[in-house]
Amino acid sequence: MTKKTDKVLMDRLASAARSGDISRRSFMHFAAAAGMTASAATGLWGTSAAAQPSRGGTFRWGVHDGNSSDTHDPGTYVTRQMIFLAHTHRSYLTLIEPDNSLGPDVATSWEATPDAKEWTFELNPDASFHSGKPVTAQDVIDSLNHHRGDASTSAAKALLTDVTDIKADGENAVVISLARGNADLPWLMTDYHFAICPSNGDGTIDWKSGDGCGPYKIESGEFGIQWALSRHDGWHGEGAYFDKVEMLILNDPNARQTALVTGDVNCVSLIELKTLALLERNPDIKVDNIPSGGAITMPMHCDTAPFDDVNVRNALKLAMNRDEIIEKISFGAATKGNDFHLSPVQPYWPEDIPQREYDPDQAKSLLKKAGQEGLSVNMSVADSVYTGAVDMCVLYAEQAKAAGININVVREPNDGYYSDVWLKKPFSAVSWGARPTPDVMFTLAYKDDAAWNESRWQNERFNELLLQAKGELDESLRAEMYREMCVLMRDDGGTIIPFFNNWVYARGKGVERGEDVAASWSCDGARAASRWWFST
């Protein structure tokens, strides 16, 4: 290797370190291969990777999955537009850090009683709303109570079922009491529904105005179209390096990627995987391909024929060739699912459960047992669910023909998909973001009375284990419980999980980020606007 080649390689490594595109381990490995000593490489890494974020500029963010029917009500958050906007203009008690650990937001610290039945959260005295009002314990109490009680219509209501009381301990502390211990409560507070909004003083919150205590305040905007935000000078956290943020709703994948390539936006939240290799060759674009716990699900309503027969449900699971779908639709940017909602990157993943494979003959046998030979069903999907979602369902329909199953793929409109199709039509395709713990995911989507029990599945043993595991502080016993719950989902549940999708998004020239990025949502846990910056 010549000295000139050494210098070119090291310049490229230094640039990658500054932009966060290479880990320290990989940097040191390639530096050694280029002939650098360990001490010299360490020095170069420190100089390159420690570059301080710079302030300024307008971050233009092309976001997929936004509807005109979306709202500022935290209890209704469901689309990416709502979730990304919420993490930009509102705050939570806790947050997921770029390294996927739990960190502070409005709460600076928290502690529990030994039985984990009472938690005290100390609040940041510097936190303030965009209106100028300081954040108090009452704001937090009313924001959480918005999701509780018989009158609440919040999708996150099931997550707070065990909460018996929320009270203030002075102006800057909140005490949450539970009917049973919950070791995950601080993690639970990161759920995107639990945004902190200003109290109206009567037990309700002002969510309609769009006021928040997040890093950026809304200047103008319209759901389904675009939002204009500016830095909140009273932001209590780190980051918020951009002066302004423009969020553009670009549901069409071609329009989204064209906007990135032409420089009309600085980042897009989802790229077409079929063009992944092409984008990676573009020197002005940086692609982030992050394994996650985000999942594509295909829920079947277990209270609706023919899905009320477990043999039919399992036949449809066996009629899918997941390997082919991952190869042709995800282009390898995914991890194969096994029909339980827990991925290998999440805690308590039960690696010993046998993987369900494509078996059309066994599927035929189950359909014969159910008296459903020649089964024909409709399946709803929209382009905005996932890049290539319609093609995925069409491919699945082709695979299922070998089992004698006719799946009629119904292409639904992007706008209103999660309000008009999901939870309403008996068989559909859905995209889920990652949740920090199994308890949160299972409580949201599989608990018998959960608002988002998308398959309407009822399993007494599952619900019994869910309550037991929630307060179990013995890690090994808790793992055993989650394993049994996963088996129940796999063998009795009404949800097909083809794969856990990587978050694949892209940044344009000059957009920098840290070495780590959160895997809870795409674009650094939906916090790109407050965590990233422009290079100088």
CATH number of the domain at 264, please.
3.40.190.10
Within a domain: 448: yes
Strands (E), 106-251: 107-112, 118-123, 163-168, 173-178, 216-222, 226-231, 244-249
Q: Return the higher-pLDDT residue of 10 and 442.
A: 442
Domain count within the chain: 3
> Which range, of 108-112, 262-266, 274-278, 360-364, averages the lowest pLDDT?
274-278
Within a domain: 115: no
CA atoms within 13 A on the CB side of 91: 33
Residues 375 and 424 in one domain: yes
H-helix or E-strand spanning residue 501:
strand 495-501
Last residue of a domain, which of 32, 49, 66? Answer: 49
DSSP state letter for 428: B
The pLDDT value given to residue 2: 35
- CATH number of domain containing 462: 3.10.105.10
Residues 287 and 319 in one domain: no
| Cβ atoms within 10 Å, residue 306 | 20
Residues 381 and 467 in one domain: yes
Residues 474 and 515 in one domain: no
Residues 309 and 438 in one domain: yes
Within a domain: 67: no
Residues 268 and 368 in one domain: no
Within a domain: 157: no
Q: What range defines the domain where residue 36 resides?
A: 3-49
Pick from 503, 497, 114, 171: which is nearest to 337 by CA?
497
Beta bridge partners of 409: 379
Within a domain: 19: yes
Within a domain: 192: no
Residues 314 and 362 in one domain: yes
Pick from 305, 294, 293: which is nearest to 494 by CA?
305
- Is the preceding peptide bond at 306 cis, omega within 30 degrees of 0? yes
Residues 394 and 342 in one domain: yes
Mean pLDDT of the chain: 92
Between CA 83 and CA 232 the distance in angstroms is 19
The pLDDT value given to residue 43: 54
Spell out the SS3 assignment of 62-76: EECCCCCCCCCCHHH
Does residue 242 carry a pLDDT above 70? yes
Residues 279 and 418 in one domain: no
Does residue 3 carry a pLDDT above 60? no
- Residue 306: partners with Cβ closer than 8 Å, 6 or more residues away: 312, 370, 372, 375, 377
Residues 465 and 402 in one domain: yes
| Cβ atoms within 10 Å, residue 203 | 12
Beta bridge partners of 397: none
In the structure, what pLDDT confidence band is assigned to residue 33 with cuts at 50, 70 and 90?
low
The pLDDT value given to residue 347: 86
Residues 356 and 495 in one domain: yes
Within a domain: 57: no
The pLDDT value given to residue 24: 57
**b/e per residue 213-225 (b: at least 16 CB within 10 A):** bbbbbbeebebbe
Q: Return the higher-pLDDT residue of 229 and 15.
A: 229
Strands 267-268 and 58-63: parallel
Average pLDDT on 107-111 reads 97
Ordered alpha helix ranges (H), 34-95: 38-49, 80-89
Within a domain: 285: yes
475 burial (CB, 10 Å; 0-12 / 13-18 / 19+) is: exposed
- Residue 2: partners with Cβ closer than 8 Å, 6 or more residues away: none
Q: 């209270």: which residue's tokens?
A: 303
Average pLDDT on 208-233 reads 98
CB 142 within 8 A of CB 215: no
Token representation of residue 184:
């995950």
- Residue 14: partners with Cβ closer than 8 Å, 6 or more residues away: 44, 47, 48
Residues 444 and 302 in one domain: yes
The pLDDT value given to residue 20: 56
